[in-house]
Amino acid sequence: MSALLLRRIHKWIGLILGLQLIIWTVSGAMMALIDMEEVAGGVRAPGVSPPPVPAGAAGWAEARRRLGASPVTGIAVRALLDRQVIEMTTPQGVRLFDAATGQPVRIDGALAASIARDAYAGTGRISRVAALDELSLAVREHELPIWRVDFADERNSSFYVSAETGRLLERRNDSWRLWDFFWMLHNMDYANRTSFNHPLIVALAFGIVWLAVTGLWLLFRTAWAPDLRALGRLRPGSAARESSPR
């Protein structure tokens, strides 16, 4: 391959990679400028601690009876709004029971809305409650079933509640959506926005290495060639060799 052809290829590939470097710079700067507290969902509501489970409550015995012979691989007692619940993990999934009575607790749309409302510190009202049919980008690292609770506020807040455990999974708003867009540009994962090891960014890394190597070769081959020849003529004895008869 001639130096002229390689220089042309180097120029156009350098232009393409240079555009991506500009995108990296701009997207990184934007992610740094956006308020991270807003990206995380803003101020959290203080919440109210539920009363302790009464002594001698039949919750555990009743919950175990309802599970029958199903093995239990994990147990936790935790707060859920104004009461304590027993969270039991089984091979079939997570089951919730009222810690005082042992009655099953089902996370329906109304309860999911109450959980989101309890964690919400704004003044907007709930505009929509819907069960997700598939995972969206906002909850890409979680598993279904999930309830989405939207609030009518200036930030277009959306809270996501697990329909299995009743835990608040994510708090999303316009600041997060803008940050997530620049995050997509930065890691070049345009589908899932999670990986730094996908083929596109690996190919770009090899492209940058190729650009550096060919750039150095062209630098010595073309740009510095006259200077190197001039230095060679300045070496002792070079003038005598050039003037000697052949």
pTM of the model: 0.80
The runs of H, that is alpha helices, within 54-171 are: 59-67, 109-119
Digit-coded pLDDT (tens) for 160-213: 999 999 999 999 999 999 999 999 999 999 988 988 888 888 898 898 898 888
Beta-bridge mates of residue 227: none
Peptide bond into 145 cis (omega under 30): yes
- For 173, residues 6+ apart whose C-beta sits below 8 A from its C-beta are 38, 41, 42, 155, 156, 157, 158
Confidence of residue 1 (pLDDT cuts 50, 70, 90): low
Digit-coded pLDDT (tens) for 86-135: 999 999 899 999 999 999 999 999 999 999 999 999 999 999 999 999 99
Measured at the alpha carbon of residue 95, what is the angle toward residues 92 and 96, in degrees to the nearest 5? 175
Q: Give the CA diameter of the chain.
A: 116
- The single-letter DSSP state of residue 82 is T
Confidence of residue 157 (pLDDT cuts 50, 70, 90): very high
For the record, the structure tokens of 77 come out as 């007692």
Candidate from 27-31, 37-41, 160-164, 228-232 with smallest mean pLDDT: 228-232
* Percent of the chain clearing pLDDT 90 (strictly above): 59
Residue 119: the pLDDT is: 95
Number of H helices, E strands in the chain: 8, 7
